[in-house]
Structure 1
Amino acid sequence: MRGSSLSHPEVVEALRPFIVTFWGQSNNERLPDDVLPLHQASGGASHFATGSNVRCFVLDADGRLLHWFNGFPNHTGNPMGRSSDEFAAYYVREINRSGAGRTARRAEMPLKLPEVGNGVRLFIRFTGQRDAHASPVVEAVESLDEWKTLSPPTSAREIDAAKLSRWLRLCYPAGVNEQLEPYTGVHGKLTLTPAGPNQAVLAGKVRMDLPDRKSPPFDGTFRAVLTYGTGGAVRLRGVVEGGYPRFDWNQVAWADWPLTVAIESRPD
């Protein structure tokens, strides 16, 4: 999962013996036959008055319901004001209440960042958020024609941001957000300007379309410094910053949450 409390190490450990799946409903569509009895066991639609619209179910190996719980610790206050550690402790406690926990064989695997042989790595996060929304996301993208696009400039030249769309389309936040797919369109003009004998500066505004056409686009800036060798670009360090559109149900209006993405070339 691209972030959220389910990616917390303590929750991952508690879920290790289980097979995890999910189903999401929109526009009051019909519940599948295997989901309907679980929904009814948790109170059905009437439960929205006392619980959240996210429910978790623990089943045994034969599909029998052992325990269910709300996706949020309670129905009062602002659940997004809680820390990821609080959410994790709640999930672990409820999972263990099912009595279905087993000791899973665990292979020791060192924690590593995703890597590519020739490309970029992106570090994506909301700035200033303290809850699950602050979960960072790391993406790695193998290069195709991007380095050709960013070949050393002899003078300032304009580059269509869409030519770097394989990088920029991934600049969206963690899976606790409604957006679960990359941006569908990348627009804008970037200027690549010489900055010394072996460096250049890339800068400009970008606009990216969210998959949900009802949502406003992401507007931001992309700035980067490139260092060149005899064969072309050998290093890139860049930052994408902007306001990510989120609908504030309390204010009944769209709000921009500050989003920051650091981009570094790999393997250098």
Structure 2
Amino acid sequence: MKETCATILKVTKEQVEGLRKKANEIPHQDMEMVVKRPYSRSKAVASHLWGCICKARASDNSQPTRLNLRLDFHSRLKPSLPAGYFGNIVHSIVTSTCVHGDLLSKPLSYSAGKLREVINHMTDEYIRSALDFIASKEDVSALRSNFHIRAYTKTLNFLGNPNFSIGSWINLPFYGMDYGWGKPINVGRGLLNDDGKSFIMSSPTADGCLLIAFRLQTEYMDFFKKLFYEDMPHHGNGL
């Protein structure tokens, strides 16, 4: 029942590249394939967001937290769906449980590796198994996403959502659409109603900048914004 608010932050092209470099330059021993396949800009930005949100929420270092993301499985099925298939073909996936202390003390490659770890599990076999399970249920209401929950323990003075949810719209060609009255000036979420929910979007000017829309408890928002820019390799305020 705590008050929340939404905002949009800007990340410059230089800041995005700085986060990518930071995520890839210090491989973490718990994660595999860091050197073989560099982390993308979306994984680097999402990892930075996750850590800053955990720090801003100011909970105990032993507070568990997970990151939820939705993955397009269009090309992960074998055979893949046709290129012209129209629909929202996504599956919600969740990282293994981490604790605040690990996300804040370990290099950015640790949290980025957690994202890669769960994404790599999204195989054809996994997706078909999930679809079969959903199809076997007469009532699917219990399967609807309820990731944003109030969570607390007897030992921690924290009442709120300890998790973080992110959607990447970076590669969606919003600004190339023209319905007869010119290209859109701005594209954004119509509703952003959950604490800890966020979306990464491309800039309308196609300059390599990213826009991040998200919602957080109001009491943590100012501190989060401060951390978000201070902890970047390239400082700069995108507000």
Same fold (TM over 0.5): no
TM-score (norm 2): 0.24
- Write 1 or 2 for the structure with the bigger share of helix: 2
TM-score (norm 1): 0.22
Structure having the higher Rg: 1
Q: Which structure would you say has the larger RCO, counting Cα contacts within 8 Å and 6 or more residues apart?
A: 2
